Amino acid sequence: MSKRIKIKKPQEDTRLRIDNFYKRWNVDLNEAERWQNFKNRVLNSYIYSVGRSLQDSVRAENEFFEMLGIHIRKNDNYITILGQVNNGFENSPAYCYFKDATTIDFLLGLQVIFWMENVDADRKEFFWMDIVNAIVITNVPLEIKRTNSEIMFYPKGAKLLDERLVSDNLDWLENYPKSYESFKNALLEYGTKGKEREVVDNLRLSLELLIKEILQNKKSLENQKNEIGVFLKSKNVSTEVSNLFWVVLDYYSKYQNNKAKHENSVVSDEVEFILYLTGTLMRFLLTK
């Protein structure tokens, strides 16, 4: 993106006012209603930010659907002449995609827009600001992480853990591109049913690649005990913490080999624990 526009303070006061209104009427919004509220707000922003780019540009529209892997057949009434669209957004294939999409497909569509080359950077910037505010207002469990190179969507967990073990690690890992890519892939698949093994595999690979680069060797995770011990000692880490680090890493490797690599028996409830454990191990190394 060419330049950053200063983001307005997220509209937390708006969310509080809305929540208080519902409380006065003894209404408690469920998760499905919050997601629908979020989607409606984002669709309103889409029309006035990036939507015109997709509506008026065949190249942009084709890029959008090619990245999604979807074949489209336009409605005969959808005709663009000199930038004017006869029947407005209701017949735009991209708008229809978002309007009818499931929650996960809706989020995938948003992610694709920020991957696209044929959407103006300033329009993306305004869209990003509105999505951030929509998340705050609706309180959906969604996180957007912005690094120097991209914008990424992933499920939101514990706030403190996400900030320290996910967000910070992504910033630091940009200096280790191979590890960064695997960690990012784990986040993109995190929370998707049937993708538990892929998430765990990517987390292991990310940690392994990071350790290899820090220690400047090509050893597997299981064979780094001596090198890790020497590295931590050189950083004045206590013997007790150094030993604890290796014990945790050793069991981490065994879990990966037994549950992911050989048996494909990763339990979905354990994936979040593995994510934050990976983040903890990485953070400790990166701060050294």
Same domain for 183 and 124: no
What's the confidence (pLDDT) of residue 262? 64
Same domain for 21 and 104: yes
Q: How far apart are CA 99 and CA 43, in angstroms?
A: 8
Same domain for 120 and 51: yes
Q: How far apart are CA 169 and CA 203, in angstroms?
A: 12
Q: How far apart are CA 68 and CA 12, in angstroms?
A: 33
Residue 162 lies in a domain: no
What's the confidence (pLDDT) of residue 4? 47
Domain total in the chain: 2
Q: How far apart are CA 95 and CA 89, in angstroms?
A: 6
Determine how many CB atoms are found less than 10 A away from the CB of residue 92: 24
Same domain for 131 and 229: no
Residue 146 lies in a domain: no
Residue 2 lies in a domain: no
Residue 65 lies in a domain: yes
Residue 1 lies in a domain: no
Same domain for 193 and 271: yes
Q: Nearest 5 degrees, angle CA 69-CA 46-CA 114? A: 50
What is the pTM for the complete model shown? 0.73
Residue 49 lies in a domain: yes
Same domain for 185 and 125: no
What's the confidence (pLDDT) of residue 74? 55
Mean pLDDT by 10 residues, the chain (288 residues): 48 75 76 93 94 87 93 55 50 90 94 94 93 92 87 82 84 93 90 87 96 95 94 95 95 88 79 93 94
The gap between the terminal CA atoms of the chain, to the nearest Å, is: 31
Same domain for 133 and 21: yes
Q: How far apart are CA 159 and CA 163, in angstroms?
A: 6
Residue 125 lies in a domain: yes
What's the confidence (pLDDT) of residue 88? 64
Last-in-domain residue among 140, 155, 188: 140
Last-in-domain residue among 120, 140, 160: 140
What's the confidence (pLDDT) of residue 249? 95
Q: What is the residue range of 99's domain?
A: 12-140
How distant, in Å, are the alpha carbons of 54, 71, 90, 271 from that of 85?
12, 21, 10, 47
Last-in-domain residue among 140, 158, 189: 140
Residue 7 lies in a domain: no
Same domain for 106 and 189: no
Whole-number CA gyration radius for the chain: 22
